Amino acid sequence: MEQPCTIWTKRYREQSSSFGARFLPFAQTSLFFLFRMLLLIPFLPFAGTSVRACAQTASVTASTATLAEIDLPDAPSALPGLQQSAPVNIPLLPLGNNQPLQSMDLGGKFKYIIEPNFGPRSFVTAAFNAGFRMTNVPDQYPHEWHSGAGAYGRLYGDSFARTGAASIARFSTSVLRHEDPRYHRSQSTFFPARLGHAIAFTFVDRTDSGHPTIAMSNFTGAAAGGFIGNAYLPAGFDDLTHAGQRTTILFGGMAVQNIATEFAPEIGHFLMKVHVPHIPMPPVWWTGDK
């Protein structure tokens, strides 16, 4: 006769295996569904374009019919909701991110891409970046990269070279391929759709005529900034693997900048609400541009 402990052990194993057989297919189905939903997020802004157009058309038609029946003495004061709030600009974000985007010529692209990375403000951002990297220098770096003014100067030059090379490559590619380097904010109010739009815009931007195109300027800019370090970085960090890692980081930084630009109004209102003091920044260029 089997012992009671052995009998209960067999029953527990049978129940556990039965539960696993029922739970695993459910978990697998749920994970595949979640994965498919995540893949659809970048396409939500484009899917909602036709819906928004129909809604706007219906709204305009209803408003026109109502105004035709009612004699309003003062139309602007009767429609306060149409008045737009003042734009809120965030420091270190591209200029005019809340302004209507118009066609950009060669000079406009130069001012938008090149000047911010070679003007007074770029010196401050490169110095801040070098100071931050000074606290976390890889152990494999030689001693002259770890401490002292010489190490800080090397890290500063590396930061400045990365951003400078990336900006020159982005500018050249945008001019040759007639790309518009600016970010176009989503028209949706749905948070996942806006987030997906910002991430997708890192890979697909617009031409000068407004048509979607592969964002080759972003790819070439990230690659130039990632591979330029092979010319001066210490041995072991001037290879293809580390250049690819630096390229990926720069490309991810472009996606983060798109997200920050997309939610710039909300970020600005939040900073004003919590009374964050204004931090004075040097001009983008010596002409005094803010």
pLDDT in tens, 149-190: 999 999 999 999 999 999 999 999 999 999 999 999 999 999
The pLDDT assigned to 224 comes to 97
CB 193 within 8 A of CB 202: no
Q: How confident is the model at residue 284 (pLDDT cuts 50, 70, 90)?
A: confident
- Name 142's Cβ contacts closer than 8 Å, sequence gap at least 6: 234
| Residue 46's pLDDT band (cuts 50, 70, 90) | very low
The structure tokens listed for 192 are: 């996942």
pLDDT of residue 274 exceeding 80, the answer is yes
- CB-based contact 246:226 (threshold 8 Å): yes
**Would the pLDDT of 60 be above 80?**
no
Q: Which two tokens stand for residue 229?
A: 């370090």
Spell out the domain ranges in the chain.
Answer: 106-273
Q: How far is CA 32 from the centre of its chain?
A: 27
Average pLDDT in the 118-141 region?
90
Structure confidence at residue 120 (pLDDT):
87
Higher pLDDT, 207 or 14: 207
pLDDT the model gives residue 86: 43
Distance between CA atoms of residues 229 and 169, nearest Å: 15
Question: Which tens digit of pLDDT belongs to each residue from 208-246?
Answer: 999 999 999 999 999 999 999 999 999 999 999 999 999
Which of 61-70, 141-150, 272-281 is the most confident on average?
141-150
pLDDT of 102 over the 70 cut: yes
Distances (CA, A) of 37 to 6, 27, 55, 56, 205: 46, 15, 25, 27, 23
What's this model's pTM, rounded to 2 decimal places?
0.65
Those residues with Cβ within 8 angstroms of residue 257's Cβ, 6 or more apart along the chain or in another chain: 93, 94, 183
The predicted structure's pLDDT at residue 35: 42
Q: Provide the token pair at 237.
A: 């960090």
Mean pLDDT of all residues in 265-279: 86
- 112 pLDDT band, cuts 50/70/90, is very high
Q: In three state form, how does the secondary structure of the chain look?
A: CCCHHHHHHHHHHHHHHHHHHHHHHHHHHHHHHHHHHHHHHHHHHHHCHHHHHHHHHHHHHHHHHHHHHCCCCCHHHHCHHHCCCCCCCCCCCCCCCCCCCCCCCHHHHHHHHHHHHHCHHHHHHHHHHHHHHHCCCCCCCCHHHCCHHHHHHHHHHHHHHHHHHHHHHHHHHHHHCCEECCCCCCCCCCHHHHHHHHHHCCCEEEECCCCEEECHHHHHHHHHHHHHHHHCCCCCCCCHHHHHHHHHHHHHHHHHHHHHHHCHHHHHHHHHHCCCCCCCCCCCCCCCCC
Average pLDDT over residues 245-256: 96
Place of tokens 């005019």: 96
Q: How far apart are the first and last CA of the chain?
A: 89
